[in-house]
Structure 1
Amino acid sequence: MTPELIATDVDGTLLDDDEDVSPRTRAAIRAAVDAGTQFVLATGRPPRWITPVVEQLGFAPMAVCANGAVIYDPAADRIVSARTLSSDVLGELAEIAARVIPGAGLAVERVGRSAHDAATPQFVSSPGYEHAWLNPDNTEVSVEDLLGAPAVKLLIRKAGARSADMAAALARHIGIEGDITYSTNNGLIEIVPLGISKATGIEELARPLDIDAANIVTFGDMPNDVPMLDWAGLGVAMGNAHPDALAAADEVTATNAEDGVARVLERWWRD
């Protein structure tokens, strides 16, 4: 059956190792969209990091951001919906993080009405927070201020640690406070509201279109992709994927550097 909706992770999946959408992948996606298939980005990225992807695609698909906590419409630059961790829950999580992973830094992602809402400082970090990526765009505040407003995602960062080890340690202490995941093994944990994942975000977009999970294909490479790989009718892991993603997928394609997404889509659509 031809898929009615395609949802793909961005980093390590849609983008190659130079953070580009290859011409072959772009053409395969364009052919699917031209045939009437829905296309959705499903990423841990915040809305403000979606524009470069949209520019490379050549069109503006709906985006599931912050691991499912935010639905963003880049065509209108509008936050459609946001699920948040309350200040009380953030406080509980911060206490657990300090106890279980001493010395870890904290940061939160917040959203306003648009991707670059100047009224809302969007990436807020604790003093001395060591970033896991280049070119950070954070506002450094006290821990009290960091925890003082709802956030769509809490980040726990320990330079030199392994995310998998951090997740295992935190999982013994975090239950109803939120769901733990990670998109890099570089000492960075992401916590989203309980029950929220890329799968729930995609389902939120698919439901009004009357598209069932059975008619959806998803692509991913990291543990934060596991829920959507497991949920979709066809979950495809990249050849470069984390073992958890490989285990959750129905099949494995080539790597992100070898047009893995395009190789699957070309079964149904070619430019």
Structure 2
Amino acid sequence: MSKPGEPGWVPALVALDIDGTLLIPDLENGFSSEVVTDAVTEAVLAAARSGAHVVLASGRAPLSMAGVADRLGLTDLVREVRSDRLHVVASNGSVVVRYAPLEMVHEVTFDASAAVRTVLEHVPGAAVAVEEHGVGYRVNRLFPPGELDGEMIICDIDEMIAGPVSRVIIRDPDSTSEDFVNLAKQLGLHGTNYFIGWTAWLDLAPEGVSKASGLEWVCRELGIDAADVLAIGDGRNDIEMLTWAGRGVAMGQGPQVVRDAADHVTAPVDEDGAAVELRRWFR
């Protein structure tokens, strides 16, 4: 039997990050375009047509990811090929949904109150958001346009973190991603996982939860081994996924720490790197 990445190996499941992997990021404004190139779309659909399970795995909320799946044509294709629904790993692994229709099938929550208050002591002007599944986000102040999908419901911080949550976003337009990397290291943030985006964007998740843990849950449901998974991503929140999968592939524009964690580095997102990798295994 071929080992992952060797000739003859065929991924049974393809895990795909969205922003910076399928969608080209707008680094100046801090969010992705909502357009996927024809080359990437065709490569993703070819993988699904071949019989592989294609799973979107992102820090985005389920509602936003469902929209991306629709734009790819993946929702309809999976329904046609498998008479089934997509698995989607959302919120950096805290939430797994089936789509369409949107149905939560797995969620991990935690008490984020101490971590949020600790961060706000150091970044008092930050915007904070907690997911309101299927609706949007509860926020202490409005986020920059285009960064959150769905409705933004203004709430008091204490109200937002009074009960268990699956994910908290902390965003400071006046800081950089490196500022947040250094802050997270300094604070330790015990009892949580944290993920840094390409802007000053900090995701707090339950300890031990990542895209890898969400994908592992999906693989157990489908009877697939991690060795048969191809994962592609570009961000720090993809590192666990890339090291867990049988073949982990980093996008060429990803930070060095992400590329170092991968088995292979493909072309950057603006050169259709995801399509380059998918074409190795699916024609």
> Of 98, 104, 109, which residue of structure 1 is paired with 2:126?
104
Question: What residue number does 1:119 align with?
Answer: none
Question: What residue number does 1:183 align with?
Answer: 197
Instruction: Say if 2:130 and 2:168, in contact at 8 Å, map to a contact too.
Output: yes
Per-residue Cα deviation, 1:90-149 (whole angstroms, up to 9, x for no partner)? 2211221122333333221232xxx34xxxxx41111x4543745663111111211123
Which runs of no fewer than 5 residues in structure 1 stay unpaired? 117-121
Instruction: Say if 2:180 and 2:196, in contact at 8 Å, map to a contact too.
Output: no
TM score, norm. by length of structure 1: 0.88
Instruction: Say if 1:110 and 1:123, in contact at 8 Å, map to a contact too.
Output: yes
Distance 1:81 1:135, change over 3 A: closer
Q: Map of 1:72-111 to 2, 5 A cutoff?
A: 72-86=97-111, 90-111=112-133
CA RMSD of aligned residues (A): 1.9
> Of 187, 192, 196, which residue of structure 1 is paired with 2:205?
192
Question: What residue number does 1:245 align with?
Answer: 258
Question: What residue number does 1:170 align with?
Answer: 184
Measure how far apart 1:34 and its partner are: 1.7
Q: Say if 2:52 is the partner of 1:37.
A: yes
Measure how far apart 1:29 and its partner are: 2.0
Question: What residue number does 1:28 align with?
Answer: 43
TM score, norm. by length of structure 2: 0.84
Deviates more, 1:257-266 or 1:65-74: 257-266
Letter in 2 for 1:160: D
Hey, what's the Cα distance between the residues in 2 that align with 1:135 and 1:208? 30
Hey, what's the Cα distance between the residues in 1 that align with 2:208 and 2:219? 17
Q: Say if 2:249 is the partner of 1:204.
A: no
Instruction: Say if 1:6 and 1:217, in contact at 8 Å, map to a contact too.
Output: yes
Which runs of no fewer than 5 residues in structure 2 stay unpaired? 1-8, 26-32, 76-85
Secondary structure of the 1:108 match is: strand
Hey, what's the Cα distance between the residues in 2 that align with 1:29 and 1:103? 40
Measure how far apart 1:231 and its partner are: 1.1
Aligned pairs, number: 257
Per-residue Cα deviation, 1:42-84 (whole angstroms, up to 9, x for no partner)? 0011011023212222122311000000001122211111111
